[in-house]
Structure 1
Amino acid sequence: MNGPEMLEIRCSRAWPPLAEAHLGEWVLRWAGGFTGRANSVLAVGDAGRPVREALDAACDFAHDRGIPPMAQVVRDSPNEHAIVAEGWVEAKRHRRGHEVVVLTAPLAAAPAVDGVTVSDEPSDAWWELTLGPAEDSPAARQVLTGGKVGYGVATLDGVTAGVVRGALVDGWLHVGRLEVAPAFRRRGLASALMAALGAWGVEHGAGRAVLQVAEGNEGALALYAGLGYAPHHRYRYWVPAPGSRIEGEEDSTS
């Protein structure tokens, strides 16, 4: 597999589903509908069979578990071209955007910031800010606590004002779920959380960080660019064409 596909494998391991199966190097994933990354087939590398057969098997896996079939694939890769040739279409109804930019940056130690910590266990306040009522579920909590994870918290005026999640995989720090409460935005908390999480990653042996942002999220892209993150590649979600035998509703988040 090439560089983008290998990095997608690492990102998938940092965001573990509740159940998975393999088709050659492809990974079938299910997590009760929580996020597209954990409820799709990661179509990287060689499926070990014709693409049409692999997509049929991915659809069977999804339908057996009550989720719509969907493929996550590196943009402009041979697998994407093959999936398009089988009649699949872009998942444009995907809630957080069907095209995602993957950004990377080197990590470095950073001085501690008052009120910003990274812990090995999530607090109740971390959960409350990370997951809204519509997302909170046992499946979501299992995905977010899978692997070696650091839970960043920024406390201001005695209140949990911001949170972030970092997972370690093969010397990479996968960053996600950065959130600052509306009342505390524009105070530098996002940057402080990212710095603290990066320092935690360095302490645990990570040399680089990776994160994923929906193509249209200009605010987040600008924030991360200012922190030294650069585009590495893009991926897209694809679904069976409307009216096909294997069509399903696109209802997962990114």
Structure 2
Amino acid sequence: MRAAGGFTGRANSTLTCGDPGLPVPAALRAVQGFAREHGIKPTAHVTTGSVHEQAIEAAGWRVDHDHPGGAASQVMTGPLEKFADGVAESRDLPGWWELAAGSEVSAVQRHVLGSGDDVCFASLTENDVVVAAVRGAVVEDVLHVARLAVRPAHRRRGLARRLMGELAGWGLAHGATTCVLQVAEHNEAAIRLYEDLGCTEHHRYRYWIPAGS
């Protein structure tokens, strides 16, 4: 069960993996109680097509089609050596937060995006303005990629590909061999980019909420 002041769906949902140790309806009531306690919407993070999803649907929950980033996401993985090109410099710039997180840095954003021993705030700048940003974090031998963003006026110039290559190089330098990233399944342009970099689909997940929400 995760709560972070409402910033990102993953950080404010309950991950449904393994045996909850009690019947699913009771587990979902615990999810609702946790959400009330922390002032967030009760949400289950569920692997698409899993037995957990079937049980959660049978308990009367529904897919959260109104989720801001889309109800369903695709998790992709790939080897870093296929697209590493250069080594990103981690720069904790105000412009990074404005582009990647949508606002100036807050304590909640800092906690969600900055936690960990090996975290990289990679960016590309033009005229001292951050025009592309991405966040990476190495856990064991896996580089977790998130918050890739390019300003609209600077798109279609290969900046996302370049930044991903530099982040992959940073990941290799910090002991990672594989990347994992999550992308909304309707974001076809991003999926094509990641496929071109050698990433493939691992699984998909959806957010579920109580039917009466």
How high is the TM-score relative to the length of structure 2? Answer: 0.93
Q: 2:94 aligns with which of 121, 124, 137?
A: 124
Q: For 1:138-177, what aligned pairs fall within 5 Å after superposition? A: 138-147=107-116, 148-177=118-147
The equivalent residue for 1:25 is none
- Alignment-mate amino acid for residue 212 of structure 1: Q
Q: Are the counterparts in 1 of residues 94 and 105 from structure 2 also a CA contact under 8 Å? A: no
Percent sequence identity over aligned pairs: 50
Aligned mates of 2:175, 2:198 — CA distance in 1 = 19
Aligned mates of 1:178, 1:143 — CA distance in 2 = 15
Asked if residue 234 in structure 1 is aligned to residue 204 in structure 2, the reply is yes
- Number of matched residues? 211
Q: CA deviation at 1:220?
A: 1.0
Q: CA deviation at 1:110?
A: 3.4
Q: CA deviation at 1:156?
A: 2.8
The equivalent residue for 2:64 is 91
Q: CA deviation at 1:136?
A: 5.2
Q: CA deviation at 1:46?
A: 0.9
Q: CA deviation at 1:117?
A: 3.3
Q: CA deviation at 1:173?
A: 0.6
Aligned mates of 1:39, 1:174 — CA distance in 2 = 18
Q: CA deviation at 1:157?
A: 4.0
Aligned mates of 1:209, 1:156 — CA distance in 2 = 27
Q: CA deviation at 1:84?
A: 0.9
Q: Which has the higher helix share?
A: 2
Which aligned runs of 4 or more in structure 1 are off by greater than 4 angstroms?
Answer: none
List per-residue Cα deviations over 1:22-52 (Å, max 9, x = no partner). Answer: xxxxxx0000000110001001111111111
The equivalent residue for 1:41 is 14
Structure 2 gap segments, 5+ residues each:
none
- Alignment-mate amino acid for residue 94 of structure 2: D
The equivalent residue for 2:181 is 211
Task: Output the aligned Cα RMSD.
Answer: 1.6
- Alignment-mate amino acid for residue 32 of structure 1: G
The equivalent residue for 2:84 is 110
Q: Are the counterparts in 2 of residues 172 and 207 from structure 1 also a CA contact under 8 Å? A: yes
How high is the TM-score relative to the length of structure 1? Answer: 0.79
Q: CA deviation at 1:130?
A: 1.5
List per-residue Cα deviations over 1:172-197 (Å, max 9, x = no partner). Answer: 11101111112221111100100000
